[in-house]
Amino acid sequence: MFCYNFINITVIFSVNLWLSGWFLGQTIYRKRNRLKVIVPAIILTDLLISFVVTFSYQYNISDWKYPLGSFLHVYIIYLLGMCYRKILYHKKLSVCWITFIFLDMLQSLAQMIIFVFQPGFVYHMADPKERILYSVIISGLAPLLTILFGFLLKRLKTDKAFGLWIEHMDSHPVLFFLLSFSPILQHMAESFIHTHQLSTSADNRMVVVLFLLIIFIILNYTGREELQKLLLEEQKISMQQQNVYIENLENIQQEMKKFHHDFNNMMSGMYLSAKEGDLETISKFILDMSSDFNDQAGGQIRLLNQMKQIRIPELKGLLLTKINRMQKENIHCELEVIYPVSKLSMKTTDLCRCLGILLDNAIEEVLQKEDALIFIMISCQSEVTTFCVKNRLYSAVDTQNIWKNGFSTKGPDRGVGLSSYKKILERYHNIVSHTAVTDGFFLQEFKVQEHEM
Amino acid sequence: MIPIYLCEDNETILTMQKNYLEKLILIENYDMELALCCVHPQEILAAIKTSPKRGIYFLDVELTNEPIDGFMLGQKIRKLDPEGFLIYVTAHKNLAFETFRYHLAAFDYIVKENPQTMLEQMRQNLTLITKQLCGAQSGIQKFFSLKVMDVIKHIPMDEILFFETTGRTHRIELHAACDRMNFIGSLHDLEKQLDERFLRIHRAYLVNTEQISELDLKHRELRMKNGEICLFSKNMKHILLERI
């Protein structure tokens, strides 16, 4: 009996693992020597779950007077599942919990659908023939159906919705409880129908299937809502960025107007000097004028000239907002983009997050300091694009510790930036990074190679 | 004799620069000669090819009516003369000097807004170069040169603490006093490339033995001078004890 269960559970388990990899895009947390932990963890959980299942069968836990037994059975499995996910994926406990329940529900949905087609049929496990049939269904047909579901849900983009929902789980506690208590609710629904004689017991499974389907629909719906919210937010940001851009242009226009006025005055002054043949004053006038122009509108024009080279709208928006902030804070900023930047082998969202973190850090370091200065260099060569942020340094930097999560010189609840920067870059095989302290500047740089190495 | 090359598309400025430099070399008695003054960048490249030598280059950034700009010219010169001094002359202040320095290791840049300051800056640059050349002959600091994608980075050997493999394949992380970078490579190749100071003490660590501050034999750990900790393998214990 234990062997049968073990085989069944192993199959179900591997489907579970595969689903979480393929469907939810979660990958096993890998590091040196992790294999030594991962393999035993999988086998141990497998054994434990099989043991629990066998135990509950042997002692007929599900036939206890109250449904407590089956709840106990289900929740022990859930707990075990959560633990194994915690070990394997290194995610938050609540995330592990929900993900396991979600996957388990997906699988039990498949099983239930199969059983719906055999109404009233009860397997007698004591009979080896029926036991084998049961095994074939549980570990043969059901996984196939589960995979089919997987494809279907992926088509419906439920996977993305679920992923998003997990990220914002705190804002949707209802669904969290709904999922957590689904076995109890399921049972309640069953017994409700039973007591009200709404249907024969054979249709009970149909009810369960319906119940599970409803949960999936709710899940899909909330996830989609989240997606919509995200989209809206993005649009809002791009609107803001456009406003900043227009503001910039208007500023330049204003300065040009001012300069035009000054220019007329200077010209009349120059005219007088020319008439008198005073060459020295004239040459001084010319020098003054060109430097004046540089001071007034030159900076902005220069900035927009560099900005023109950036052909990735999100990147442009990010730079505009950050540079705008720097100008408001009186930080001198030099942007260098000598060749156009149009495409990149890096997700734009990741790029913006990384660059955003570096820029925020740079701004914070030089904020309200004398001679605040930040250099931004984006250099797109034939196959490699380099992003470099450099800021004047006012205090010593511990180049080894800044990477640690929670490390910050600015008090608690900080220091998340660089560790997530590092995490994002680690996902890419074609990116290398460099951090350095040179000549009183703090330099952060990452290089993206176009062709996968 | 170090050759000086000038490339400038405005002939008036070119003559002015040429006359000034000729006079300056005579007065200051620099060990330099004006090798070529030209309008077209191709002439410089051809001249370097015929007599390859470490040179000083004053290059205009904006080369009108030419197939390549100052940056590309710099890249081509770098291929022929990796150690030469590149000084850029530009009409506008908007030169992306950081980029020039990053990719071409440009020495300086000069704005030609005011002819007087332009010539003065040229003189200052030549003085600096002379100083640097003298200094280089006396104290030689060893550098670890590493090609990272499209650039070569130089890190002082003394400052390197250790190299470490990371969880990702072929990815090495370098820990130095002021730098921290990752690149693609293998510890095995690095070991061959570096001198005897560096010791492979663990499958995942290649350490500069001069930077070790403490040895923890019980936990088989090394504490480096900056406080970071490396592991070492059992059979390296004796070699380490000998070295320190």
Pairing verdict, β A384-392 and A441-449: antiparallel
The answer to whether A38 and A28 are in contact (CB under 8 A) is yes
Q: Which value does ipTM take for this structure?
A: 0.84
Q: Where residue A448 falls among pLDDT bands split at 50, 70, 90?
A: very high
Chain A residues near residue B184 by CB distance under 8 angstroms: 432, 453
The answer to whether A355 and A318 are in contact (CB under 8 A) is yes
Q: Where residue A453 falls among pLDDT bands split at 50, 70, 90?
A: very low
Orientation angle between helical segments A313-328 and A348-366, nearest 10 degrees: 10
Single-letter residue type at A55: F
Chain B residues near residue A375 by CB distance under 8 angstroms: 98
Chain B residues near residue A390 by CB distance under 8 angstroms: 98
The share of chain A scoring above pLDDT 70, in percent, equals 76
Total residues found in chain A within this entry? 453
Q: Where are the beta strands (DSSP E) in B26-101?
A: 32-38, 56-60, 85-90
CA dist., res. A119 & res. A201, Å (int): 9
Using one digit for the tens of pLDDT, what is the confidence trace for A145-177? 778 877 777 777 666 667 766 666 666 677 677
CA dist., res. B93 & res. A215, Å (int): 64
Chain A residues contacting B via beta carbons under 8 Å: 30-32, 287, 290-291, 294, 298, 302, 305-306, 334, 336-338, 375, 377, 379, 381-384, 386, 388, 390, 399-400, 403, 426, 429, 432-438, 447, 449, 453
- CA A311 centroid distance within chain: 24
Q: Where residue A344 falls among pLDDT bands split at 50, 70, 90?
A: confident
Tokens of B163: 């190299």
- The C-alpha of A357 sits at a distance from chain B's nearest C-alpha, in angstroms, of 18
CA dist., res. B206 & res. B88, Å (int): 40
How much is the pTM? 0.64
Using one digit for the tens of pLDDT, what is the confidence trace for B26-42? 998 888 999 999 999 99
Q: What is the dihedral of CA A210, A216, A218, A221, to 10 degrees?
A: -140
pLDDT at A400 over 50: yes
The answer to whether B8 and B20 are in contact (CB under 8 A) is no
> Closest by alpha carbon to A193, among A178, A183, A177, A206?
A206
Mean pLDDT within A431-442: 90
Element containing residue B177 per DSSP (H, E) = none
The answer to whether A336 and A388 are in contact (CB under 8 A) is no
From B111, which residue of chain A is nearest by alpha-carbon distance? A291
Q: Which of B99, B167, B184 sits opposite A379 (nearest CB)?
A: B99
CA distances from B183 to A55, A296, A443, B169, B189 (A): 53, 43, 17, 11, 13
- Please give the mean pLDDT across all residues of chain A: 77
Residue B13's Cβ-side half-sphere holds a number of Cα atoms within 13 Å equal to 21
The answer to whether A72 and A59 are in contact (CB under 8 A) is no
The answer to whether B147 and B82 are in contact (CB under 8 A) is no
Q: Which of B97, B167, B175 sits opposite A32 (nearest CB)?
A: B167
pLDDT at residue A378 in the model = 93
CA dist., res. A283 & res. B72, Å (int): 34
CA dist., res. A19 & res. A26, Å (int): 9
From B161, which residue of chain A is nearest by alpha-carbon distance? A400
Decide: helix, strand or coil at residue B239.
helix
Q: In the 3-class helix/strand/coil scheme, how is A78-135 assigned residue by residue?
A: HHHHHHHHHHHHCCCHHHHHHHHHHHHHHHHHHHHHHHHCCCCCCCCCCCHHHHHHHH
CA dist., res. B44 & res. B39, Å (int): 9
CA dist., res. A148 & res. A154, Å (int): 10
The answer to whether A88 and A41 are in contact (CB under 8 A) is yes
CA dist., res. B58 & res. B109, Å (int): 9
CA dist., res. A102 & res. A376, Å (int): 45
pLDDT at B90 over 90: no
Contact A400 B184 (CB under 8 A): no
The most distant pair of C-alpha atoms in chain B lies apart, rounded to whole Å, by 75
Element containing residue A194 per DSSP (H, E) = helix A182-195
Contact A388 B98 (CB under 8 A): yes
- For residue A19, count CB atoms less than 10 angstroms from its CB and return exposed for 0-12, middle for 13-18, buried for 19 or more: buried
Q: Where are the beta strands (DSSP E) in A321-450?
A: 332-336, 373-380, 384-392, 431-438, 441-449
- The C-alpha of A427 sits at a distance from chain B's nearest C-alpha, in angstroms, of 9
φ and ψ of A404, to 5 deg: -70, 140
Using one digit for the tens of pLDDT, what is the confidence trace for A51-82? 777 777 777 655 655 667 777 777 887 887 77
Q: Which of A386, A403, A449 to mutate to test the interface with B (most CBs of B within 10 A)?
A: A386
The share of chain B scoring above pLDDT 70, in percent, equals 97
Hey, how many other C-beta atoms are within 10 angstroms of the C-beta on A99?
24
Using one digit for the tens of pLDDT, what is the confidence trace for B137-170? 655 678 888 888 888 888 888 889 999 998 777 8
Phi-psi map region of A413: left, alpha, beta (phi>0 left; psi -120 to 50 alpha): left
CA dist., res. A153 & res. A425, Å (int): 30
Tokens of B151: 């650039």
Name the β-bridge partners of B162: B175, B207
Chain B residues near residue A422 by CB distance under 8 angstroms: none
